A and B are shown apart, each in its own frame.
Chain A
Amino acid sequence: MGARMGRKTKFRLAGVLFLIALIIIFYNTPLVHIWRRTAWLGGGQKFVIILAANVGGGVMEWKGAREWAIERDSVRNKKKYVKKWGYDLEIVDMSTKKRYAHEWRESWEKVDFVRSTLRKYPKAEWIWWLDLNTFIMEPSYSLQSHIFNDLNKHIYRDITYYNPLNISHPFTDDYLDEESRSPVGDGDPDSVKLILSQDCSGFNLGSFFIRRSAWTERLLDVWWDPVAYEQKHMEWEHKEQDALEQLYTAQPWIRKHTAFLPQRMINSFPTGACGEHGNDTRIHYNEKDRDFLVNMAGCEWGRDCWGEMYNFRELSYYLNRNPWERFKEDLVAVVWEKITGHKVKL
């Protein structure tokens, strides 16, 4: 048989076999995962996602079917994402505790959890905090390609670029050094230690990045300490978010290491949030632009969290269907419906 096979056919056959081998390696072995995970190859180990789950935790209120469903979906979404790109996922328990409650506050939960996570994952460089009511719409974006490979292009350090809080920037005091008075710090992306986004009413900590560094340790210390913002947390509505705003406004050393991302890079809102003035292209999710992540911020105040989560989950699936799913849903199911008159879910 070999004798009868032409030289060309042999090459073609070898090519097909090679292709099959590649497919097997790519889809059926952990090789890709290991590659993406390794710090000096894909770099996945450098990123840890903290997901704030079990909000409330059955202490003061019931955790009913909807809350469980939201948690299931949100956790599954992040687990899949993390598995795909070789990151680590740390699911933290946000159940209500007296020591985090307003009147008795010893600390902010976020601060404590960021600290313990940095300790738990010694290889982690960036920590990405995510609230429970978030959904990664485009799992095919890796954090590296989406943000970190070209950090300087995406971030803005001069808050006057978008400044809903009207924070005066930069500092002008004479006693400050050159770097603190500069609107963009030292301009080097390596000096950025905290990346967050701003919504219509200021800082938003539903989705932010923080980098392992001495500066971060100091920030977490100060953030934690009520003395640094004059015990105002009883007046503030947004807890640690307001505290951070206060620190940013008052402390030059914090400002020069903080950077912002346009909100829709990491934190798109559904129309229900910040929606008093209609749809805002800087804030709200748009499926045509394939925004990375949706944060259903404030949905527990009078909106339907589970409904929104379900819609975005289905939308994300719809936008990211693979060819087989497209084939069976857009062709087979439609044809079947035409023939039989019944809708089918394949």
Chain B
Amino acid sequence: MLPFASSGSKVTPRHHVSGYSNGYPRGNTFELSPHRFQPRLNATPAGRRRRRFYLRLAIFTTLGCLGLYFLLSGSSIWSLFSLGLLSGAEDIQLETVRYYDLSNVQGTARGWEREERILLCVPLRDAEPHLPMFFSHLRNFTYPHHLIDLAFLVSDSKDRTLEVLVENLEAIQASENENAHYGEISIIEKDFGQKVNQDVESRHGFAAQASRRKLMAQARNWLLSAALRPYHSWVYWRDVDVETAPFTILEDLMRHNKDVIVPNVWRPLPDWLGGEQPYDLNSWQESETALALADTLDEDAVIVEGYAEYATWRPHLAYLRDPYGDPDMEMEIDGVGGVSILAKAKVFRSGVHFPAFSFQKHAETEGFGKMSRRMGYSVVGLPHYTIWHLYEPSIDDIKHMEEMEQDRLRREQEEKDKAEKAKKIKEQFGDANSQWEKDKSELQNLAAQDKSPKGDEAPADGSKGKAGTEPDIKKGAEAVANKEAVKKDEGAQAQQPNKQS
């Protein structure tokens, strides 16, 4: 109740006479908000008790909730008080539990900006002579090296492949330039009992193809399954015997953002064989004819490309190269060659592999291409983007080259002999020329002298000729002027009879 509100009055006073609504008398009190109604709280003991009850209720509820939370979440309450230093470490950061989100490593067109890791797989067999070349390529890659993990499979090698490999790797990883260092490197040794020799003739012979390719496929699968980690976005397969390739090949292939992509592979040839030649015939488009052929074959048979035994009528990536064409041109293909394959890791994760059996009548990389297509992945070749495989001469080539070398030597010898002969002749008979000319001019002089008494006009000509020739002869025997003079002389001689007659 307000103190001054008169019960009978209908007019409420606009201003309180004696003070503000807070009940304090009006005076020189200073308040920031003096006009607010502030009821006196808990004035009564009952109000105070009620307030205390509410407070306790709130505290208990909070504690109860917290307790329930820690109970349910399973962590120790002590971590609350020790700020997590004393407890909890052993069950949160277990060494053997890793968490990966594979959606982060799908592989994109600009992997180098998103720091996508590449696994570079290299199968090796008796590859010692090629290793230095391979490592020079490795040093030159422009893709950030720390994002590339290397995996080597050394199998059935009889030479020092492993030792040379390790030496080279150590050299790279110990180099002063930090940017040259690669990520994780795995070397895997495993023998498959490959019986086919690694020289060109046996490697590319028709009979050896099927079994050889099946073993190669096994090797690739061993290598990949051992080396592929969950953080890899891409897998790049590369042969050691690539001679020339762009440094930017990883980015160039990645930019197309295809699941499986291969460049065109050619090889240089010596000039007498035409200069260059398509090399990798395993990248092709499927044809109806080859499908029909596949139907007629035995279940375990493997069609291998580029041999007369199987006429497949397939368009080959290697045959479609335009040196002046657009290097970004794409071509859908079904089989891929293994010289240089860039594939997204998800392709392998989803179960595509290099079949070591006859998958749709194909094995290894060609089977891999077909399987990728079957799984709905894009498989693409770049007809105008070329890398160059090493030229290894076949036995016939070597024979031919030896013959050519002998030919060349013989020809050189002949030329040398000829030159020597000419030199000798020159030395022995070299002076004869000038001697002969001297003699000739003297003879002419004599002749002129003989003639002079006979004719009236002749002596003038003769003396002219004499005047022209004599000083020249003195100068040098081989001078051109000399010859000209002689010609003049002869001309004079030729003229003389006319004049006389």
A residues bordering B, Cβ < 8 Å? 57-59, 61-65, 68-69, 95-99, 101
Residue of B nearest to A95 (CB): B315
Q: How far is the CB of B102 from chain A (nearest CB, A)?
A: 38
Residue of A nearest to B324 (CB): A65
Bound Cα distance from A95 to B319, whole angstroms: 12
Q: Is B459 an interface residue (CB 8 A)?
A: no
Bound Cα distance from A59 to B288, whole angstroms: 13
Chain B residues whose CB sits within 8 angstroms of the CB of A98 once the complex forms: 287-289, 311, 313
Bound Cα distance from A166 to B214, whole angstroms: 62
Chain B residues whose CB sits within 8 angstroms of the CB of A69 once the complex forms: 322, 324
Q: How far is the CB of A259 from chain B (nearest CB, A)?
A: 36
Among B278, B288, B322, the residue within 8 A (CB) of A97 is: B288
Q: How far is the CB of B402 from chain A (nearest CB, A)?
A: 29
State the total of A-B contacts with C-beta under 8 angstroms: 49
Q: How far is the CB of A93 from chain B (nearest CB, A)?
A: 9
- B321 close to A62 (CB less than 8 A): yes
Tally B residues with Cβ within 8 Å of A.
18
- A58 close to B322 (CB less than 8 A): no
Q: Mark B343-365, 1 if CB is under 8 A from A, else 0.
A: 00000000000000000000000
In the complex, 15 of the A-B residue pairs with CB atoms within 8 angstroms, ordered by the A residue number, are A59-B313, A59-B316, A59-B319, A62-B319, A62-B321, A64-B322, A64-B323, A65-B322, A68-B322, A97-B287, A97-B288, A97-B313, A98-B313, A99-B288, A101-B313
Residue of B nearest to A104 (CB): B289
Bound Cα distance from A69 to B318, whole angstroms: 17
Chain B residues whose CB sits within 8 angstroms of the CB of A96 once the complex forms: 313
Q: How far is the CB of A310 from chain B (nearest CB, A)?
A: 14
Chain B residues whose CB sits within 8 angstroms of the CB of A68 once the complex forms: 322, 324-325
Q: How far is the CB of A75 from chain B (nearest CB, A)?
A: 13
Q: How far is the CB of B295 from chain A (nearest CB, A)?
A: 14
Q: Is B314 an interface residue (CB 8 A)?
A: yes
Closest 8 CB pairs of A and B: A58-B319, A68-B322, A58-B320, A98-B289, A98-B313, A58-B315, A62-B319, A57-B315
Given A63-B319, A63-B320, A69-B324, list of 8 further CB < 8 A pairs?
A58-B316, A64-B322, A65-B324, A68-B324, A97-B289, A97-B313, A98-B289, A99-B288
> Interface majority SS on A: helix, strand, loop or mixed?
loop
Q: Which of B283-305 contact A (CB under 8 A)?
A: 287-289
Bound Cα distance from A295 to B367, whole angstroms: 43
Chain A residues whose CB sits within 8 angstroms of the CB of B288 once the complex forms: 97-99
Residue of B nearest to A101 (CB): B313
Chain A residues whose CB sits within 8 angstroms of the CB of B319 once the complex forms: 58-59, 61-63
- B321 close to A64 (CB less than 8 A): yes
Q: How far is the CB of A100 from chain B (nearest CB, A)?
A: 10
Chain B residues whose CB sits within 8 angstroms of the CB of A62 once the complex forms: 278, 319-321
Q: How far is the CB of B48 from chain A (nearest CB, A)?
A: 88
Q: How far is the CB of A106 from chain B (nearest CB, A)?
A: 10
Chain B residues whose CB sits within 8 angstroms of the CB of A97 once the complex forms: 287-289, 313
Residue of A nearest to B325 (CB): A68
Q: How far is the CB of B155 from chain A (nearest CB, A)?
A: 34
Bound Cα distance from A59 to B278, whole angstroms: 13
- Which of A64, A95, A98 is packed against the most chain B CB atoms within 10 Å? A98
Q: How far is the CB of B322 from chain A (nearest CB, A)?
A: 4
Bound Cα distance from A101 to B289, whole angstroms: 11
Q: How far is the CB of A132 from chain B (nearest CB, A)?
A: 15
Chain B residues whose CB sits within 8 angstroms of the CB of A57 once the complex forms: 315, 320
Bound Cα distance from A241 to B325, whole angstroms: 34
- Which of B288, B316, B319 is packed against the most chain A CB atoms within 10 Å? B319
Bound Cα distance from A65 to B324, whole angstroms: 7
Chain A residues whose CB sits within 8 angstroms of the CB of B325 once the complex forms: 65, 68
Chain A residues whose CB sits within 8 angstroms of the CB of B287 once the complex forms: 59, 97-98
Bound Cα distance from A95 to B315, whole angstroms: 8
Bound Cα distance from A96 to B313, whole angstroms: 7
Q: Which of B169-220 contact A (CB under 8 A)?
A: none
- B313 close to A65 (CB less than 8 A): no
Residue of A nearest to B329 (CB): A68
- B323 close to A65 (CB less than 8 A): yes
Chain A residues whose CB sits within 8 angstroms of the CB of B317 once the complex forms: 58
Bound Cα distance from A101 to B317, whole angstroms: 21
Chain B residues whose CB sits within 8 angstroms of the CB of A101 once the complex forms: 313
Residue of B nearest to A67 (CB): B322
Q: How far is the CB of B30 from chain A (nearest CB, A)?
A: 75
Chain A residues whose CB sits within 8 angstroms of the CB of B289 once the complex forms: 97-99
Bound Cα distance from A92 to B288, whole angstroms: 17
Bound Cα distance from A69 to B278, whole angstroms: 19
Q: How far is the CB of A17 from chain B (nearest CB, A)?
A: 44
Chain A residues whose CB sits within 8 angstroms of the CB of B314 once the complex forms: 59
Bound Cα distance from A175 to B200, whole angstroms: 72
